[in-house]
Amino acid sequence: MKLFRGVRQSLIKEKNLKRYLLYAVGEILLVVIGISLAFQLSNWDDNRIKKNAENKYYESTRTQIADDSHIILEQIHFNNRYLAEFKYINEIIENNDRRKMDTLGLLVRNLTQYSDFDRQGNIYETMVNSGQINLLQNDKIVNGIRELEEMYIYINRMESIHYDAMMNYTGPVVASVLKYSTLEIKKPDDVFTYEFQNLVISLIQIMEEKDRTYNQARNKIEHILKSIDEELDTKG
């Protein structure tokens, strides 16, 4: 600045208006360029901060839903194990095969088993309420997270239906026909009825729907994970 002031005073003393005007314009341009560079650097720093925050959110979301996928897979195995048993119970009752009473006792006990993912975290809702959604530029990922949360809500609803059926219907019925200490069917005639079979079929239908929704959620997670990986690779 001292240099500019010295040149300016020298030109004023020389009373050379043309050179002074050219110098004044040049000085203004330098100031404008300096301000512009400072503004661009500030924008670059802001964009870098936003990019880092966006990437960190993608990474944390990736970790969370990848863990969810593993838990859901465990529930799928658990659900399908007992689903196969319940179908076998239905087959025994349908065929009125009373020779398999001992096997039936072992299986009827398990009618109170149910899978429970019980995912309570609201990823999308938290993202919106915290304002983090404004950081995320990939609409495909954002929409995928929203759709996944809707699937979680439906899974929780199906699990609640299964739990209520177990507590209010299955548990009391099983307790009325089975001696838990010996796993002996004490009232076989009550087991080989259409009412008991209807209960088993209802559980089968609930569990088949749970299996479908579990697998849909895992497929959605796989698509989101792929999109996040692509996004992170693109942004380096």
Residue 95 DSSP class: T
Q: Do 137 and 204 sit in the same domain of this protein?
A: yes
* Structure-derived torsion over alpha carbons of residues 94, 96, 98, 102, reported in degrees to the nearest 10: 10
Asked if residue 3 and residue 29 are part of one domain, the reply reads: yes
Between 54 and 103, residue with greater pLDDT: 103
pLDDT at 209 over 60: yes
pLDDT score recorded for residue 2: 46
d(CA 65, CA 82): 26
Give the residue with greater pLDDT, 14 vs 161: 161
Residues 1 and 118 in one domain: no
| Number of structural domains in the chain | 2
Q: Do 84 and 42 lie in a common domain?
A: no
The residue type of 162 is H
Shared domain for 90 and 7, answered yes or no, is: no
Same structural domain for residues 122 and 43?
A: no
Mean pLDDT of 82-91: 98
- Write out pLDDT tens, residues 122-154: 777 777 667 677 777 888 988 999 999 999 999
Does one domain contain both 89 and 132?
yes
Residues 6+ apart with CB under 8 A from 7: 23
Whether residues 43 and 63 share a domain: the answer is no
Based on the domain organization, do 93 and 144 belong to the same domain?
yes
Whole-structure pTM value: 0.78
What the block records as the tokens of 85 is: 């048993």
Q: Which of 23, 18, 19, 17 is nearest to 5 (CA)?
A: 23
CA–CA separation, 142 vs 137, rounded Å? 8
Could you give the dihedral angle defined by the CA atoms of residues 12, 18, 22 and 28, in that order, rounded to the nearest 10 degrees? 50
74 shares its domain with 176: yes
CA 212, 214, 219, 220 torsion-angle sign: positive
User: Which residue in this structure is represented by tokens 């990848």?
Assistant: 66
Task: Answer yes or no: is pLDDT of 171 > 80.
Answer: yes
Q: Which domain holds residue 45?
A: 1-52
What average pLDDT is seen over the chain? 84
Q: What is the pLDDT of residues 187-197, one digit of tens each?
A: 999 999 999 99
* Maximum pairwise Cα distance, the chain: 122
- pLDDT > 70 fraction of the chain, expressed in percent and rounded: 75
Helix (H, G, I), strand (E, B) or coil at 116: coil
Q: Specify the pLDDT at position 201.
A: 98
Band of the pLDDT at 4, cuts 50, 70, 90?
very low
Who has greater pLDDT, 65 or 132?
65
Arithmetic mean of pLDDT, 76-97: 97
